[in-house]
């Protein structure tokens, strides 16, 4: 039996006994917590796909360096990482707006007093999260 097939069967078994946070749609690599995603050195934050109607329904985009795919995780799953001000008015396309949210691949923080600015701050937190370069994942550690 091919080793990758065994890994897929094992991963599906693990998913049944643990709650899954996210799974790569290309290689089926599972992440069982947000912290595991944030700490994974094989995930690189590459963008934010905004949803102007409901900012928390936008997506943080990550490249999975292992298989070269891109995964999307709802921005709302990272909201609690930020405890600063959240402005009530959206300034998109006004003179005060630098237009960062209009470009998925722009990760810059925004200085405008805009409703969208807090998501840009969360991007900075996620982008600068310390990565585990050599620590084995939970699967390799025997789940804990």
Q: Are the C-beta atoms of residues 48 and 119 closer than 8 Å to each other?
A: yes
38 is written with which tokens? 């944030």
Query: Which pLDDT score is estimated for 2?
Result: 56
pLDDT given for residue 19 in this prediction = 81
Q: What is the pLDDT of residue 132?
A: 87
Q: How far apart are CA 123 and CA 134, in angstroms?
A: 24
Which of the two residues, 138 and 41, has the higher pLDDT score?
41
Give pLDDT, residue 101: 95
Q: Model's pTM, two decimal places? A: 0.80
Q: pLDDT tens-digit profile of 81-108?
A: 999 999 999 999 999 999 999 999 999 9
Q: Closest by alpha carbon to 67, among 104, 31, 49, 42?
A: 42
Structural tokens at position 136: 């084995």
Nearest to 97 by CA among 123, 121, 116, 122: 116
Which residue carries 């959206």 as its tokens? 90
**Domain map of the chain by residue range?**
3-127
pLDDT of residue 143 exceeding 50, the answer is no
How confident is the model at residue 18, as a pLDDT? Answer: 66
Average pLDDT, the chain: 88
């Amino acid at each position: 039996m091919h080793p990758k097939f065994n890994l897929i069967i094992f991963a599906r078994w693990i998913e049944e006994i643990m709650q899954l946070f996210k799974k790569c749609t290309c290689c089926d690599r599972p992440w069982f917590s947000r912290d595991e995603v944030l700490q994974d050195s094989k995930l690189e934050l590459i963008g934010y796909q905004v949803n102007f109607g409901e900012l928390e329904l936008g997506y943080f985009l990550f490249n999975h360096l292992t298989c070269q795919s891109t995964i999307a995780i709802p921005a709302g799953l990272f909201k609690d990482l930020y405890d600063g001000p959240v402005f009530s008015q959206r300034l998109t396309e006004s003179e005060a707006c630098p237009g960062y949210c209009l470009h998925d691949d722009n990760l810059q923080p925004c200085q405008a007093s805009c409703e969208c600015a807090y998501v840009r701050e969360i991007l900075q937190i996620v982008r600068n999260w310390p990565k585990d370069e050599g620590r084995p994942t939970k699967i390799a550690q025997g789940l804990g």
